[in-house]
Every structure is written in structure tokens, then in C-alpha cells.
Amino acid sequence: MEVLVAKHAGFCVGVERAYKIALQEPENQPVYMLGNLVHNKQVVERLRARGIIGVHSLSEISAKGTLLISAHGASPEIYEEAKQKGLKIIDTTCPWVKKAQKIAAELAGRGCRVVIVGDKGHAEVKGLLGWSGGRGTVVETPADVSNLTVAENCLGMIAQTTQAEEQFQNIAAALRAKFANVEVHNTICGATSHRQSAAIEIAKQVDLMLVIGDKMSANTNRLTELCAKTGTKTFQIETAAELDPSWLTGKTKVGVTAGASTPKWITGEVISLLSKIVL
């Protein structure tokens, strides 16, 4: 059985940066993590094992310490609340997310409606809504555009950085068909596009595709969807423990890719297990 690994897979630069910054924080003072630093349970568990305290809201923090802003970013209100609490802020926001936040703020500052192509409820999208200053609207599908009304004289479009390129372009086309003077800012990160293209390329060559990553990782879920669309049987697993050997029966080529929040050690364990399975 041959195992093909996607050229671009696993930790992206933004996630790797966030993880390394978090590990550098001293262990002798309170360090708080708002939400999940990255969307991967195993990574978050390692950080908590170092004493980093996970919180869902700043209201849970009563003592002074350090606050880690996740790679997904946060709204301006979070930064202000943290300052008022006297917290030291360590910002691990991905540079691509920072770019999207800046564009959202600029559009809102000009009085434009900010259309965010993304997943409602995702941490990054919540942050982008905050930077849109009350002018943000989340659109998940082209069908959502039909119900969209815009009171502003201008409209700008940005994307959650892990969106699928095809979906983004389809929504852009729907907006242009309905509204005049639509500013399209493609803020999908390069790493996302490269991972998606590489995963699709591998999926077309194999009998079975394995996508490694957490179920709460938007970019991993999108990789799974795109691989499945090629017609190749696709499974998403979080760790090697979830790999079912029966999936490999009769397969001669297996493809492997991993989401941007998946560390090398997890991908390595899956590949190692595949090499040991004798059919």
C-alpha cells in the first residue's frame, strides 16, 4: 500500500507562531487563554498541562496575569476589557487575520457595510464583526445574499481566512449581481489556498483520503469537504487512534493531509501507523 502525503499540510505559519509564543510564557505567573489558542484539542491540552488557564470570558479572570489572544484574533472590545483588568496582553493573532481586521475597520470607517464570508459563531468571525464597528454582516452561502439588505452607500466584502476559494468567489458573484460598487477583498490566507489545492490534487490520485484534524477546526472540515467532492472516499480523524484498519481493505493508495491546526507529531503518528498495517 502506497501512502501519499499532501505537499502542504499541518501547522500553518500563523498557528506555529501562536503555539511557540504560548510556550515561551513563564510558568510562574497566571497565563490565561481566551477560548482555544488554536482549534486542536491535543495542542490545547499540552498548553493546559503547562499551567495555561483556559477561560471562555474575561469575566472569569479575577487575578492579574497575562492574556493570550488566540490565532483567530479578538474584537477591539476584548482588548479594551483586558486593559481595564490590568492584564498583560500577548497577541498571537495570525498576520492574515490581522490583515482582514484592518480592512474591516477601514471599510467601516468609511461608512461601508462589511460583508464577512464565514462561519457564524467562529472565533475569527466574531472578532471581524467587532472590527466592523456594528456594520458587519456574516454571509455563509450565495443563497444568503438574496435576503441581504444594505442601507449604506458602499459595500465591502472580506473572508474568514480559512474559507474555500470557490465559495468566496460564488458569493462575490452573487453580491455583484445584486449590488453596485462592491469592493471585494480576498482575505483567504495563502496557506489555506495551498492546503486546499494540494489536498484535492492528492485525493484525485488515491483510493482513500485521510484528513487529520480537530472536528472544531473550520479549515480541516473544509479540507474534508473538498476531498470528498473529488469522489474519493474520505475520512476525517483527530488522532491515529481513530484510524479504522478496515477502511484500508482493498486500497492500494492512501492519501494524507492535515489541517492548519494539526501538529506534526499527530500527523507523524498516523503515517507511522499506516506503514505498520499489513493488509
Active site residue ranges: 124
Q: Is 161 annotated as ligand-binding?
A: yes
Query: For residue 62, how many C-alpha atoms fall within 13 Å in the half-sphere facing its CB?
Result: 0
Pair 22, 37: CB distance under 8 Å: yes
Cα 227 to Cα 89, 135, 154, 200, 204, distances in angstroms: 38, 35, 37, 5, 8
Query: What is d(CA 262, CA 103) in angstroms, rounded to the nearest whole number?
Result: 28
CA distance 121 to 60: 20
- Tell me: is residue 217 an annotated ligand-binding position: yes
Grouping H, G, I as helix, E, B as strand and the rest as coil, residue 157 is: strand
Binding site annotation covers 72?
Answer: yes
For the beta carbon of residue 14, count every other beta carbon within 10 angstroms: 23
DSSP secondary-structure letter at 259? -
Return the SS3 of 147.
Answer: helix
12 annotated as ligand-binding: yes
Place of cell 474534508: 224
Phi and psi at residue 139, to the nearest 5°: -120, 125
| DSSP structural state of residue 193 | H
Q: Is residue 227 marked as binding?
A: no
C-alpha cell recorded at residue 215: 472536528
Are the C-beta atoms of residues 67 and 104 closer than 8 Å to each other? no
- Is 261 labelled a binding residue? yes
Write the CB contacts of 66 (distance below 8 Å, at least 6 apart in sequence). 25, 29, 30, 31, 32, 87, 88, 89, 90
Query: How far apart, in whole angstroms, are the C-alpha atoms of residue 249 and residue 113?
Result: 52
Cell numbers found for residue 36: 482555544
Residues that constitute the known binding site for [4Fe-4S] cluster: 12, 94, 189
Residues that constitute the known binding site for isopentenyl diphosphate: 39, 72, 122, 217, 219, 261
Residues that constitute the known binding site: 12, 39, 72, 94, 122, 161, 189, 217, 219, 261
Residues that constitute the known binding site for dimethylallyl diphosphate: 39, 72, 122, 217, 219, 261
